[in-house]
Amino acid sequence: MAQEVSEYLSQNPRVAAWVEALRCDGETDKHWRHRREFLLRNAGDLAPTGGAAAANAEEAADAESGSRNRQLQQLVSFSMAWANHVFLGCRYPQKVMDKILSMAEGIKVTDAPIHTTRDELVAKKG
């Protein structure tokens, strides 16, 4: 899938620039590669399309409502929660976990660390 994402971004420079602007300082290439895929899979109409006419239409829509910005902030938050869960073992309320895991369906992360929870450790000792 990484090859497909790279090929797609090379053919869509506006989308590539848009998604690259969402990368966090200090985010490793491995984390970013997977979080970028999460963002692109779930961006829908948040990602830029077309040329200058589309950009002008997007700007007009943004001036009309802040909902697009709120949707983008929510998408970025979900992507970070998902990456934190996968790579750092973080847990979130069940509603959030259900949402981010459904949004990440189909993303293959083969090199993620395996985390053991406190409850799993206690159960092994018992």
Output the pTM of the full model: 0.75
- Of 113 and 27, the one with more pLDDT: 27
Average pLDDT score over residue span 33-38: 94
Q: Report pLDDT for 59.
A: 58
Q: Report pLDDT for 65.
A: 61
Calculate what percentage of the chain has a pLDDT beyond 90. 49
pLDDT one-digit tens code per residue, 11-28: 878 888 999 999 999 999
Q: Report pLDDT for 46.
A: 83
Q: 20: number of CA atoms within 13 Å, CB side?
A: 10
The residue with tokens 């590669």 is 33
The DSSP call for residue 46 is G
Q: 78: number of CA atoms within 13 Å, CB side?
A: 23
Q: Kindly state the tokens that stand for 88.
A: 């750092």
pLDDT one-digit tens code per residue, 41-50: 999 888 877 5
Q: Kindly state the tokens that stand for 98.
A: 């259900």
Q: Report pLDDT for 53.
A: 44
Q: Report pLDDT for 1.
A: 61
- Of 80 and 124, the one with more pLDDT: 80
